[in-house]
Structure 1
Amino acid sequence: MVPMTENALHTAEARIRDLAADACAADHIPGFVAGVHQAGEQIVVAHGTANVATGAPMRDDTGFLFGSVTKVLTTTLVLQQAERGNLDLDAPVSKYLPEFALTTPGAADGILVRHLISHTNGIDADLYFPDARGRDALKTYVEGLASSCGTLFEPGEQLSYSNGGMIVAGRVLEVVTGLSFPELLERDVYAPAGMADASTSAAQAILRSTAIGHFPDPATMTPRPTGMFMLPDTWGPAGGTPIGTVADLLAFGRIHLAGGVSPSGARVLSAESTALMQRVSHDMATPNVPPMGLGWVRYPFGDTTVLAMSGASPGGVSILCVVPEHDLVFTAFGNTPGAIVLHDRILRMLLSEHLGVTIPAVLTEPEPDVDLAPYAGTYRSGQLRIDVSVVDGRLEERTTYEPADESQERIFTAFAGGTTSAPPQRYVPIRPGLFAPAGYPPEMFDGYLRLLLVSYHDVRDGRARFRNGGGRLTRRA
């Protein structure tokens, strides 16, 4: 391990401050907050504005929506209940939720609890947004799956980032503990971890400094406040509702550095369960889909592994990274979706400049004459359609959201900033089955942004069955 001295950490603080100021000005990010903890030292950097409507500043202790970072908290809760004998990771979900079903009869029967938290369940519910609130929100979500959502693949066959799996896991937790998901999160993670400012609702968040998301105005790129602060309660375990500060997420990340022990010395998770979360559970063997643990995504940077999860919220994006080999936790939030690029810059700076990690190139030299025909066609998942064609020796993708009903459209468009389709995007072939967005330098994909690459899988009879973008699968129609 290359130690980071206190002086080096303060050098990192100055670098983060400069990177944040430059990116916020150049990329129209209203506000940004980040923190690093290593070997007993901690720094926090805040810059800009938390809410352009009010002018409230982004402060060191400003709260923000965790987004999908919550999935690691949810997984921690599942492992806790497994340790206590209330859950069996290898039991069918139906053992705990007899009502659990999907639109294809019998499709849910083979899904195990383990599949829910390893993103290998195949539930096609990534854009399913039932608008329910309160104590029965997750119960309503699970009941709605039977008439609204099918499957993308057989359990364990593929890996696809799964909001639905985490929400079902949250409902399993409610059933086996008798507590609501927010109550359980507060009792078994927030309290023992020392996440003193974390909460689970807008009603709690409004009592203290809290950032809101923003979207760029299409005409001027000027940030405008989101019209929806958070997703419905049905999305709590996947990242819809939990809120906290940089200090809160640094405290949680430290648990996963210390074998399950919180900064206060409280045992949150056993060393065995902590290690299990960090161990590879499924690997798609493609650079745009890093190996998956339980909850954690394992990003390889040469011989160094970064355990990470990012989280989108309406008009904002967070990230939590744990680097066990270097006893380091990094977390950040920016209040426009494009802030993920700044997250990536800071992560790579910390790895290369301050930890001495060599970051190898993800992309090799493009292979000549890649046959594009197997990848052209239409791919679908729930309410999402991607049309892929061959244009001038490249793949061109057109992505369209096709809402199931007015409620789904209202929630999705508010979450996405008002859009239901994306401009056409062209991709250049790197090798058979792997493509990079045209017009970007190859080194852009060496860090967290390798998720922007697109891969195609399971070619049969000259046609790929699956497309993977951003860790999410769509299936050939």
Structure 2
Amino acid sequence: MNDNTLNTVENSLRAQIASYCEANHVPGFAAGVHHAGEQVVVAHGVANTGTGAPMLADTRFLLGSVTKVLTTTLVLRQVDLGLLALDAPVVRYLPEFALATPGAADKILVRHLIGHTNGIDADLYFPDAAGRDALQAYVAGLAGRDTLFEPGEQLSYSNGGMILAGRLLEVVTGTPFHDLLEREIYAPVGMTDSSTSAKQAILRSTAVGHFLDPETMAAKPTTMFTLPDTWGPAGGTPIGTIADLLAFGRTHLAGGVSPTGERVLSAESTALMQQVCFDMDSPNVPPIGLGWVLYPFGGTTVLAMSGASPGGVSLLCVVPEHDLVFTAFGNTPGAILLQDQLLQWLLREHLGVEIPALVTAVEQEVDLTAYTGVYRSDQLRIDVTIVDGQLEEQVTYEPHDESQERIFTEFAGGATSGPPQRLIPIRPGLFAPAGYPLEAFDGYLRLLLVSYHDVQDGRARFRNGGGRLTRRA
């Protein structure tokens, strides 16, 4: 990337970010691009509307689920060292790991945890424990959770699997997860401004999330900065900067060698993370590697992971074919639309990647009866009915107890259920939310599409929305 091109990228990022944030009430946004040895970081707006603190190029923010790629890298490091085996049962290392159904935990392998194929039904399980025993408490609580499917049978985005992997790391290394993250990822990668707690973050410029007031559209700071310590390995607590995430992405571009020159991961393990380990063959569910989601944009694969935090959203993308890393953070949930816009601009205009339309037409004559019914996962209920010849979904959060309700509602900005959503059939088993132009799904937002899977005796067994499965009740 020459200086002129770098200037072009920077100027376009600034213009697109300013325009979108102004029109969509996003208080602050930061983004960075590394390409062919050159790098640019831009920041816009404010990090906290309560204080007026500006969003700076080095402002910290919660990494959210981008942390899952860091956790996976830690797991593969231990595989490189011979401390873990991907095809070993988790109970070999964690004999106390159990699920509600006797014997179910015994079938889960280490690779199932970081490949989102473990089937553990705990995606919204938020036990409120803190300190060095938090992950141990989380694993103990899994004894009351069950499974959605047999390990390796399906793909479903899994917070529980990553948290269990975090506890696994603690046991085999003898080191608390956050200390291990700092020692084996932050330090060798050169993530000098990253931290693992709010106590550390408060010492530097740090952004907080916001939620929009539905009446005034004013952005109000979140009442919860981080999720409980139990969610650390899935993305609840780690904090970093745009430059630090670019450095981590560059490590995966360089076969596991960080910008500091230190080898973080073997070339074989780095490549393994980027290989397809499961593909549901559905446009709304990209193939998964280990840690990375593998988004196909035409013939180009983007390794990606997004991360929701209370009132904020981050994104990390690595494009090995073009030697590019893109990362961004916005401090309202709606900033993900801007992240998708910038990613597609980089692919199309900067790299010359042709992005074919993911959905080119809708199909009118689709029998909807196979998809109606009630679908459930842990603390989540989805009622699917036919209304005016269309599918209609009602999503409701049903907390187990007051603690779960408090944590979830603060994380979601106060909402426990969404309004009914109409779905337009694209083809049998695949639907688009009504009101969106078809081109909206060409990029990262293909996750908004809804699919139904494994039709038996005229009924679908599973619903997939946002990469997460619910099972017919």
Question: So what's the TM-score if we normalise by structure 2?
Answer: 0.99
Equivalent position to 1:96, from 87, 93, 98: 93
CA deviation vs aligned residue, 1:369-424 (integer Å, no higher than 9, x gap): 01110001110000000000111221110000000000000000000000100011
Match of 2:426 in 1: 430
**1:375-390 matches, cutoff 5 A:** 375-390=371-386
How far did residue 336 of structure 1 move? 0.3
Over the matched positions of the two proteins, sequence identity in percent amounts to 77
Is the aligned partner of 1:113 residue 2:110?
A: yes
Aligned match of 2:62: 65
Q: Which amino acid aligns with 2:159?
A: N
Match of 2:31 in 1: 34
Q: Deviations over 1:25-68 (max 9, x none)?
A: 11110000000001110001100000000000000000000000
User: Which residue matches 1:24?
Assistant: 21
Q: Secondary structure at the match of 2:206?
A: coil
Q: By how many angstroms is 1:12 displaced?
A: 1.2
The code of the aligned residue for 1:47 comes to H
CA distance in 2, matches of 1:18, 1:424: 35
Report what 2:136 is aligned to: 139
Count of residues paired in the alignment: 473
Deviation, 1:364, is: 2.9
1:258-289: per-residue Cα shift (whole Å, max 9, x none)?
A: 00000011000000000000000000000100
1:227 aligns with 2:193: no
Q: Does 1:448 align with 2:444?
A: yes
Q: Does 1:128 align with 2:125?
A: yes
Cα distance in 1 for partners of 2:106, 2:324 equals: 40
Which secondary structure does the structure 1 equivalent of 2:185 belong to? helix
Distance (Å, rounded) in 2 between the aligned partners of 1:214 and 1:379:
30
Quote the Cα distance in structure 1 between the aligned partners of 2:192 and 2:446. Answer: 34
Q: Give 2:90's aligned amino acid.
A: V
Equivalent residue, structure 2, for 1:336: 332
Paired residue type of 2:178: P
Deviation string 1:287-310 (CA, Å, 9 cap, x unpaired) is 100000000000000110000000
Q: Distance in 2 between matches of 1:108 and 1:7?
A: 55
Residue of 40, 43, 46 corresponding to 2:40: 43
Equivalent residue number for residue 147 of structure 2: 151
Counterpart mapping for 1:22-421 below 5 A:
22-147=19-144, 149-421=145-417
Give the SS at the match of 1:256. helix
Q: Distance in 1 between matches of 2:2 and 2:415?
A: 46
Structure 2, gaps ≥5 residues long:
none
What corresponds to 1:474 in structure 2? 470
Post-superposition shift, 1:368? Answer: 3.0
What is the alpha-carbon distance in structure 1 between the residues aligned to residue 64 and residue 130 of structure 2?
17
CA distance in 1, matches of 2:31, 2:22: 17
Partner letter of residue 73 of structure 2?
T
Whole-Å separation in 2 of the counterparts to 1:239 and 1:80: 19
Aligned residue type for 1:59:
L
Q: Which runs of 5+ in 1 are unaligned?
A: none
Letter in 2 for 1:397: E
CA offset digits 1:440-475 (Å, max 9, x no partner): 100000000000000000000000000000000000
Q: What SS does the aligned partner of 1:410 have? A: helix
Which AA in structure 1 matches 2:3?
E
Quick one: which amino acid aligns to residue 400 of structure 1? T
Cα distance between partner residues in 1 of 2:413 and 2:364:
39
Alpha-carbon distance between aligned partners in 2 of 1:378 and 1:140, rounded to the nearest angstrom: 31
SS of 2:334's equivalent in the other structure is helix
Aligned amino acid, residue 422 of structure 1: G
- Give the Cα separation in 2 of the matches to 1:443 and 1:10: 29
2:31 alignment partner, SS class: strand
SS at match of 2:106: coil
- After alignment, is 100-109 or 321-330 more displaced? 100-109
Alpha-carbon distance between aligned partners in 1 of 2:219 and 2:196, rounded to the nearest angstrom: 26
Q: Which residue of 2 aligns with 1:462?
A: 458
Distance 1:69 1:351 in 2: 20
Distance 1:364 1:389 in 2: 26
Q: CA deviation at 1:6?
A: 2.9
In structure 1, how many angstroms separate the alpha carbons of the residues matched to 2:368 and 2:229?
Answer: 42
- CA distance in 2 between partners of 1:123 and 1:376 (Å): 24
CA distance in 2, matches of 1:5, 1:459: 53
SS at match of 1:347: helix
